[in-house]
Structure 1
């Protein structure tokens, strides 16, 4: 099946914006071949060398001078196994050590968004981190588990099979800590994970039918074994099914015994509620094999038609528009359901969405969130970004604190949220700061070509073309020239301040509505 779409549209939607190398690649091989490559990235991290070379300042005091730290710490610590990170747990280790792990993952995310060749994977990693949100800022134990969650759960499964991803999430230390699953016991099951599994991870809020029915047999389709949605009884029973799913955190397990202290997943039979259960009109016999109850819940929710509708709807909103055509969602649901046993189920569904007419026509339909705005500007303006604490802090303040959104919903994915007056001001400050290298993340090499132009109008035209691939419309060019206090037609390249002015021109071009959307 042929796939023809404007290269810039493809790179704005399926990547963190166009870059010169990616534009050259996609124009040479065609969007269809480029898409096929992107859907099957190698498991290796092509940004590992850049991550290994990046350090961030870590400084904290201590009661004893020999325990004080003031150093440039490599962010490559994220590649270590969770049992190494878990050594930072405990009152005797300063909290900054735990918080640094979240900062390091955020910094690696910025590097990959700008520099990775496998851009579609990075876009989907961002999507799934929001879908399976954990808050590593609000809980330092989540921060300790975040590197493994990012690498072994989200990245490993971003283009894979959803059912496999569900179990990877359910057994991850990050989610077990965030939603209190590790402390859930038979007779005192914690409902947090069960609730979010149904409401946010799978069937979705539209399938919550408790306002209409409060007994399982009343739910339409339940007596035939195919309930249309879920009610609170399903949440309670699912919570019981996941008791015993915990982590090796040193907890007592009876008879004077304790779990190891590694942070790794484990199943404790004595913590599990072994009695019969009923989830989504399906009877669970008592005393099933280890983890069988929880895995059966994951099977039921992964295969439920409401899950296909909910997750495919979110994918269409991320990749296409806030209000995707129902026909597009239905087409994605069809592929999702038919391919649900395939190891690349997600990739096949994404391909169906991307090859649609709705996707082809959707250029400019979505507002860039701060991460997308940062990365797309860096890629277009050829800024060889090396993350710094200042840059990370600015992104945190922009409304998209990476891995630090409090509620389990993840960051909003609708245009209105990102278009408030305060949000716009922070977006402009982010662009100006990047262009002027305020946070020492790297200078823009594109400014040199802008500074060589004879007049300010020509400089604006070159900058606009660099970022957007087209000449600046005359009203836009005039607005930028006038706004900067420059006189039309006056010499520009001979000015002593031509280079710093050129950096500002690039930022102003990025502030235009055409660049703010994807």
Structure 2
């Protein structure tokens, strides 16, 4: 049961008791493959109307412009809401892995909301690329993201032209999006000359205010020869991406393997496991699914030093509470979940910088940890979530079982006897244990207080 719960927490958000029971019966390898299959079968959510909003012409009336701006604001809001609802399995239960990976790629290859210019179709285009390719080929993610309008604006690709190259995107493409500054041995992966030449190959693409996709303009493209990683010729965008993934195949495999390891296993990569995972990625032509299956079904993933050893991300913390307490009706809590995640340091489409979000202990400081406490207090206190959760437990009329089961579901590692005893005292609030009744008028307040206590424990921050 503990191994199945560990798998679900790391591959998704929070804990779903029914899914854990099923994973326990299936075993690790079959369970992982089912999670992957579910994620693939989830497919694409319906395309929202605001994803096709183009800017009104200059002849548009003031009323038409206001309507456009209002639709864009709604789209920006709904983009975040849809992200959270997909993570909570509102449309396709049992498939959180795709959203988990899409959020990882959002941190590896981020764009800032300011780059969208308030245009919701840019958010949708960017997120759709990450989500659609989340389990597919990593080179496809890189290739497609670079030509989204949001990325072209964010890292100045739309300003990169023949005779006036802008190196911003080329530099981040190598340093943060594909291979890192050095490989696992510490050897440099590229030179400044590679960045300079690469930036020339990436010229020609721009963003139009009236089009929904990037536009290639011939006169902006540098069609002269460039030399990138020893390959010379009149390289263009696609040719440059091909060269990067062929000439630096191993460093990229190691880099992506390292990011997958940090997401699913531990914040400090195990070099041997990362190297083995890089072998899988190389052999699978960078298909992420193969690496994820290998990693999540490995003995290392289920080792004692790994289970319960990671600090939850801010959005993972916020989404996980709702996923655990309200798995069947997450919609009313979506916007609050997004707000709470932002207050704790992670707002979708608003990364702190181009390197994405920090992980590990950097998630917690004197500001974000109290924000997490207040956010868990808030979510637990909403409507009848807490009471419904306790009533769903195997033995809700046994206060000792209520505390033990609640702790096992909410907390990834065992809590101390002292904390368990204090949780029981909070639940009973002075009454004898034999008088405990979850349907009593005073029970909801005591249940909320007990769950809030558990959610403020240091162990609750771990996954």
* Pairwise TM-score range, normalised by the shorter structure: 0.7 to 0.9
Is 1:348 the counterpart of 2:290 in the alignment? Answer: yes
Q: Note the residue ranges of structure 2 that are not aligned, 5 or more in a row.
A: none
Give the conservation status (yes or no) of the 8 Å contact 1:38–1:121.
no
Is 1:396 the counterpart of 2:342 in the alignment? Answer: yes
For the structure 1 residues 501 and 238, does the alpha-carbon distance in structure 2 shift closer, same or farther, using more than 3 Å as the test? Answer: same
Is 1:79 the counterpart of 2:48 in the alignment? Answer: yes
Helix, strand or coil at the partner of 2:356? coil
Within a 5 Å distance, the mapping from 1:372-383 to structure 2 comes to 372-383=316-327
Paired with 2:404 and 2:298, the residues of 1 have a C-alpha distance of 33
Give the conservation status (yes or no) of the 8 Å contact 1:89–1:141.
no
Is 1:306 the counterpart of 2:275 in the alignment? Answer: no
The alpha carbon displacement at 1:412 in A equals 1.1
Paired with 2:125 and 2:384, the residues of 1 have a C-alpha distance of 26
The alpha carbon displacement at 1:97 in A equals 3.8
Partner of 1:169: 145
Give the conservation status (yes or no) of the 8 Å contact 1:241–1:293.
yes
Within a 5 Å distance, the mapping from 1:46-65 to structure 2 comes to 48=45
Partner of 1:132: 109
Partner of 1:407: 353
The alpha carbon displacement at 1:389 in A equals 3.9
Name which of 422, 426, 434 aligns with 1:479. Answer: 422
For the structure 1 residues 316 and 458, does the alpha-carbon distance in structure 2 shift closer, same or farther, using more than 3 Å as the test? Answer: closer
Helix, strand or coil at the partner of 2:53? helix
Within a 5 Å distance, the mapping from 1:256-405 to structure 2 comes to 261-284=210-233, 286=234, 292-303=235-246, 304=248, 305-340=250-285, 345-361=287-303, 362-383=306-327, 384-386=329-331, 387-405=333-351
Within a 5 Å distance, the mapping from 1:500-515 to structure 2 comes to 500-515=445-460
The alpha carbon displacement at 1:282 in A equals 2.1
Helix, strand or coil at the partner of 1:503? helix
Paired with 2:149 and 2:220, the residues of 1 have a C-alpha distance of 17
In terms of fraction of residues, the more strand-rich structure is 1
Partner of 1:425: 370
CA offsets, 1:367-402, max 9 Å, x none? 111221122222322352214544432222111111
Give the conservation status (yes or no) of the 8 Å contact 2:54–2:212.
yes
CA offsets, 1:460-493, max 9 Å, x none? 3343244359986421123335578933746443
Paired with 1:416 and 1:470, the residues of 2 have a C-alpha distance of 17
Number of aligned pairs?
446
Paired with 1:89 and 1:429, the residues of 2 have a C-alpha distance of 46
The alpha carbon displacement at 1:273 in A equals 0.8
For the structure 1 residues 364 and 456, does the alpha-carbon distance in structure 2 shift closer, same or farther, using more than 3 Å as the test? Answer: same
Is 1:107 the counterpart of 2:81 in the alignment? Answer: yes
The alpha carbon displacement at 1:358 in A equals 2.0
The alpha carbon displacement at 1:158 in A equals 0.6
Paired with 1:113 and 1:88, the residues of 2 have a C-alpha distance of 33
Relative to the length of structure 1, the TM-score reads 0.77
Partner of 1:461: 404
The alpha carbon displacement at 1:264 in A equals 1.1
Give the conservation status (yes or no) of the 8 Å contact 1:237–1:278.
yes
In terms of fraction of residues, the more helix-rich structure is 2
Paired with 2:236 and 2:2, the residues of 1 have a C-alpha distance of 46
Relative to the length of structure 2, the TM-score reads 0.86
Give the conservation status (yes or no) of the 8 Å contact 1:436–1:443.
yes
Name which of 227, 230, 234 aligns with 2:190. Answer: 230
Note the aligned Cα RMSD (angstroms): 3.3
For the structure 1 residues 130 and 172, does the alpha-carbon distance in structure 2 shift closer, same or farther, using more than 3 Å as the test? Answer: same
